Amino acid sequence: MAGFKTDVFKASVLAVMTAILLGAATYVLSAQIETAPRVVATVDAYTEKGGYGPGIVSSFYLYNENFSIFANVKDATNKPVANTTVTFEIRGPLGSNITLPSTATTNSSGVAVATVKAPYLIGQPETVLGIWTAVATTEVLGTQVVDSLAFEVKAPPSPFVDVYTDRGGNGPNAPSQSYSRDETVHLYAKVSNGTTPVKSSLVTFEAYGPTNKTIPFLAWSPSDASGIANATFRIANFPESEGTWRVIVSTGIKDQVFVDALTFECKP
């Protein structure tokens, strides 16, 4: 009889302990479920040269190239979030003390863009060469979402020439923004030997319109102390001027000829 009571007592204790443990497990599980962060949105920072995905590295830029940081914002159902503000913080290499804050609003595709001028316009080449970082931050339904990426800025080929306009085109064979008929196009060519400007280098500017009825433009200009030569021409106000224009510059450095080109659209 005593053994029976002992067995009942043990069974009762075991049942109580099991209930307690099950309750504790249920509490822990429910606590984990209740405290787990709810994903309300995502943001993906990337550049024209890659970096898609959380914390992914983009390909490199040359220090004479403009670059853009994009942020793609989506909600919990993977749909784009339009008209939300994205804050960008773009930092230069360690020790450069370069911080470039920017804000932009997402478009209908959920994408916001921050564009940075070529780093050589920001500081001395030795301070801008290296690993840059960019952080994109936004808030959706009261929740802050963040993504970051890194990319390298490298010294350009040595030597080189880069043609661009007053509307962009920095970088090798990079296009400029468009112009309209009867507008003046301001052309620039930066001549460098590595990261050092080349002074008094004679630069040839050539511009060709979209048809053989368009009169080509040809000019020469020496580079100044900053290594920059310039020329201007006006687009004729004729229908034949509409379409894609091509600009080619060339210069001689150390008995070699170096060339760069860009294109731009001419609109009515």
CATH topology of domain 41-154: Immunoglobulin-like (2.60.40)
Report the alpha-carbon distance of residue 22 to residue 30 in Å, rounded: 12
pLDDT digits (tens, 9 = 90+) for 200-239: 999 999 999 998 888 899 999 999 999 999 999 999 999 9
- Percent of the chain scoring above 70 in pLDDT: 84
pLDDT of 138-168, one tens digit each?
999 999 999 999 999 988 778 889 999 999 8
Joined together, the tokens standing for residue 208 give 């060709």
CATH number of the domain located at residue range(s) 160-267 in this protein: 2.60.40.1930
Residue whose token pair is 């497990």: 25
At position 148, the amino acid (one-letter code) is: S
What are the distances in angstroms from CA 120 to CA 61, 102, 128, 161, 199? 12, 19, 7, 14, 17
What's the average model confidence in pLDDT over 122-134? 82
Domain boundaries, the chain: 41-154, 160-267
The whole-model pTM stands at 0.59
Fold match flag (41-154 vs 160-267): yes
